[in-house]
Every structure is written in structure tokens, then in C-alpha cells.
Amino acid sequence: MIKKEELTLVTEWDKTFPKSDKVDHGKVTFVNRYGITLAADTYAPKNAEGKLPAIAVCGPFGAVKEQCSGLYAQKMTERGFFTMAFDPSFTGESGGNVRFMASPDVNTEDFMAAVDFLSLNDRVDPDRIGIIGICGWGGMAINAAALDTRIKATVASTMYDMTRVNANGYFDSEDSEEARYEKKKAMCAQRLEDLKKGEYKLGGGVVDPLPEDAPFFVKDYYDYYKTDRGYHKRSLNSNGGWNVIGCESFMNQPILKYSHEIRSAVLLIHGEKAHSCYFSRDAYADMTKDGKYAENKELMIIPNAVHTDLYDGGDKDYIPFDKIESFMRDHLK
């Protein structure tokens, strides 16, 4: 028998964005195939009738549903979609009795379990379900789309390939057998230290205080996660971060291997000046290089936008919600 964990969910509005008067907000839980109970916010258009197209939203990697994913979900509901923003396994309000771990398998399953929930929801048309993944969850969304034939449309916004960055380092600067060996060796040693101490060591969230010589992308993250703009008390990136060994399995499990076999529609959106833009450019090239399912794949580059501008719009409303809406409507028919 499938059982849920008993989760204690916050009842007050504690998001980093204001509540819309155009939507009805609720909180739900659902279970993935590993028995982990996930927590989600649902958003429904006020006074909507009939079964609606639906979208599951998650990300960024190390964020919570009260940050970017909730903003995307609420904005899309204002445009007529039933949406849900969920916390991944082991984070936020979701369950899992080892906290702050990540897994390319479990986290892909989180998206598929969200599709399960939406497919069985009375408000939703099960033949019109899409997903949105932000940052590291953009890569997870693409992986889910490669596995889940029920997903009709996928948007990956300011996407990270977490397997590539863990295995190769930023900008592929550590792409060597020697560098990977040293990282794996250090994590294996950390596993034993954690067991001896009886607790997992945290890797640290976004660096604070910010060093004067910090790279631009670190300053970009600080500006979101460590300021009133995006700080949240349950966000890993805003606080202590993932466990040191939290992302160990990403080292040798590339999640985008079969992205060229995705038959459903995919839209990648990235800022022109984002340090991470190469992830989306390369993912788009991989999805379209053989051409068999290239017709419904799109890459949209936002002029002048940096990575976190697509978290909350930045100072110039950089998130192209009009494009996301038209893309979803075209492919969730």
C-alpha cells in the first residue's frame, strides 16, 4: 500500500513574491515511487470551469517553492493554467529522512510524480500537461521529458546541466580524469567522516560575506539568495547548502544523454550574459543535431539578461512569460 509521510506544512503566505488576487492557492502532498512524500503549492485560476491545461514547476537547484518556481507557477495560473510548484525530495517542506541530498534519478522521479498528481487531479486535463524547470531543474526537466511520454511540453529556464558541472566543473575547466578522480576521492573520504560523526557535513550555501574578488556569477547568486530579493529561510542556497556528498552521484550519471530522442516540445530560455548560457546552447544543439525531432525544439536568448534575471525577472522583467504562455498553449492543445 502506498503511504504518505505526515508533513507539517506552513499555512501562512511566506513566499518571496506577492500573492495574486487572480488565483486560488492551496497546499498538497503527493508521493513519488521511492515512497518520499513531496509538498507543493497549487495555483488555480479563480472561477475557472472545466478541465484545465496544467504545469508542474520546480527549481532552481537548492531553492524552494516559495522562491522562483512559485513565481513562475502563479504567473502561469494568471494566464489560465492550473499549476503546482513543488519542493524536491529531501528539501524544503518535502519529506525524505536524509536531508539535503540530491539524485539525478530521484529528482527526475520528483517531476514524474508531479505529473502523476496532475494526471489524477479533477481540475486537470491529463492530456495537456507540461513542466517548467529552472536552473538545475531545467536539466532535470529535460531528463524527465526524455523519460515521461505524458509530458507534452517542457520549458527549461536559465538551465544548468548538474551532471556536467559536477563532473567537469564550471566552464568545463575541470574536464579531466585526474580532476574527477580527486573530487571522487575527497567525497569518498567525506562519507567516512560523516559516518564517524553521525551527521552529514554541509557544503555551505552562497558565500557570505561576499569576497571583493568573487567571480561575477557568485555575486549574481549572492544578489538573489542572500538579499531581500530572494532570501528564504528554507532555501539551501540562502543558508547552509547541500551536504558535501549531496551531489556525489551526479559525477558519472549524465542526465541529457537521450535528450535528442525527446518527441515532445522543448523551449530553452537563457540570458545572453548568463555565465551558464553555454548549458542551454549545447543542450539545444544536442537535441536538434540529428534532426528527427528538431521541429518543436526552440532556443530563446534574452538580450542583456544574466543568470538570476530569469529567477524573478531582475530589474527589467526579463522572464518572457508571453512566450512561455504561447509555447504552452501551442503544445498543450
pLDDT in tens, the chain (333 residues): 788 999 999 999 999 999 999 999 999 999 999 999 999 999 999 999 999 999 999 999 999 999 999 999 999 999 999 999 999 999 999 999 999 999 999 999 999 999 999 999 999 999 999 999 999 999 999 999 999 999 999 999 999 999 999 999 999 999 999 999 999 999 999 999 999 999 999 999 999 999 999 999 999 999 999 999 999 999 999 999 999 999 999 999 999 999 999 999 999 999 999 999 999 999 999 999 977 999 999 999 999 999 999 999 999 999 999 999 999 999 998
Residues 1 and 308: their CA atoms lie apart, in Å, by: 42
Distances (CA, A) of 252 to 87, 101, 141, 211: 24, 16, 19, 32
Q: Are 57 and 134 a contacting pair, CB within 8 Å?
A: yes
Residues 88 and 104: their CA atoms lie apart, in Å, by: 11
Residue 28 CA, chain-centre distance (Å), reads 18
pLDDT at 3: 85
Q: Are 269 and 158 a contacting pair, CB within 8 Å?
A: yes
pTM higher than 0.95 for the full model? yes
Task: Tell me the chain's radius of gyration from C-alpha atoms.
Answer: 19
CATH 3.30.800.10 fits 23-161+255-331, yes or no: no
All structural domains of the chain with their residue ranges: 23-161+255-331
Q: Which residues contact 181 (CB under 8 A, 6 or more apart)?
A: none
Q: Which residues contact 314 (CB under 8 A, 6 or more apart)?
A: 305, 306, 308
Q: What are phi and psi of 102, to 5 degrees?
A: -130, 155
DSSP class of 201 = P
The sign one gets for the Cα dihedral 226, 229, 234, 237 is negative
Residue 280 CA, chain-centre distance (Å), reads 14
User: DSSP letters of 33-85?
Assistant: TTS-EEEEEEEEETT--S-EEEEEEE-STT--TTSHHHHHHHHHHHTT-EEEE
Residues 237 and 125: their CA atoms lie apart, in Å, by: 35
For the segment 92-141, what is each residue's pLDDT rounded down to a tens digit? 999 999 999 999 999 999 999 999 999 999 999 999 999 999 999 999 99
Is residue 253 classed exposed, middle or buried when 0-12, 13-18 and 19+ CB atoms within 10 A define those classes? middle
